[in-house]
Amino acid sequence: MSQAYEETTDVRRPRRAPAVRDNSRHQWEKDRARRPADARADSGATERDTGLATRDLVFSAKYRRTEATPELAEAFGVPLGTPLLERTYRTRHTGESAPLSLVTSYLRRDLIEAEPRLLDATNEPWPGGTQSQLHTVGIEVDRVEERVTARPPTAQEALDLDLPPGTPVLLLRKTSYDIHDRVVDVAFTTLPGDRTELRFTTRLERW
């Protein structure tokens, strides 16, 4: 093999900021939901997952009013066409062009419209995240169900996440239930397989 060929094919990609997502993050978020705003604002879930400081991250959010599709109507247990709020989030390291993940979250508008700030993307990033937002309208999250699958990325996902060839994506579907067993948040997250670790700790009751 010629030296010229080795030099052109051995392209070293800069190491990308890794993220470790574990299921204890939901209790951590709930514990912070009722804390004062300044205490919630010091860091968020992304900082927790990556170990990065807030100053190292660039965050964006877009809101759109929409209606429940067949999939979302089934997920929320509501009629087709029920008004929803779609929220799209992107967070990236300041030294990178690609986001850490692609996140789209849905909330029922009838459950949150009493607090107009929850309908306005200019209030993002909200200190304390979604559980803190829901707390402002009296909603307490009781449990979070997560399902993870993997597949090759679409062409758009590969472009958006700047994925190396052959890198899969992890698809995380998160469903949050409140203490009345209502589905209050359905979120879809696309995670790049080259920088994401999913970690689960299951504590067992003692005999």
Q: Which of 33-42, 104-113, 164-173 has the lowest mean pLDDT?
A: 33-42
Please state, in angstroms and rounded to a whole number, the distance separating the CA atoms of residues 40 and 128.
5
Q: What percent of the chain has pLDDT over 90?
A: 72
Confidence band (pLDDT; 50, 70, 90) for 7?
A: very low
Q: Which of 15-19, 74-78, 81-85 has the lowest mean pLDDT?
A: 15-19
85-96 pLDDT, tens digit each: 999 999 999 999
Mean pLDDT, the chain, rounded, equals 90
Confidence band (pLDDT; 50, 70, 90) for 39?
A: confident
Which of the pair, 6 or 58, is modelled with greater confidence? 58
Residue 207 has pLDDT above 70, yes or no: yes
Task: Work out the average pLDDT over 130-140.
Answer: 96
Measured in degrees and rounded to the nearest 5, phi and psi for residue 54 equal -55, -35
Task: Work out the average pLDDT over 109-134.
Answer: 95
Residue 63's identity, in one-letter code, is Y
Please state, in angstroms and rounded to a whole number, the distance separating the CA atoms of residues 41 and 43.
6
46-79 pLDDT, tens digit each: 888 888 888 999 999 999 999 999 999 999 999 9
Residue 12 has pLDDT above 80, yes or no: no
Residue in the block written with tokens 């996902």: 157
pTM here is: 0.88
Look at residue 13 in the predicted model and tell me its pLDDT: 63
Measured in degrees and rounded to the nearest 5, phi and psi for residue 108 equal -75, 125
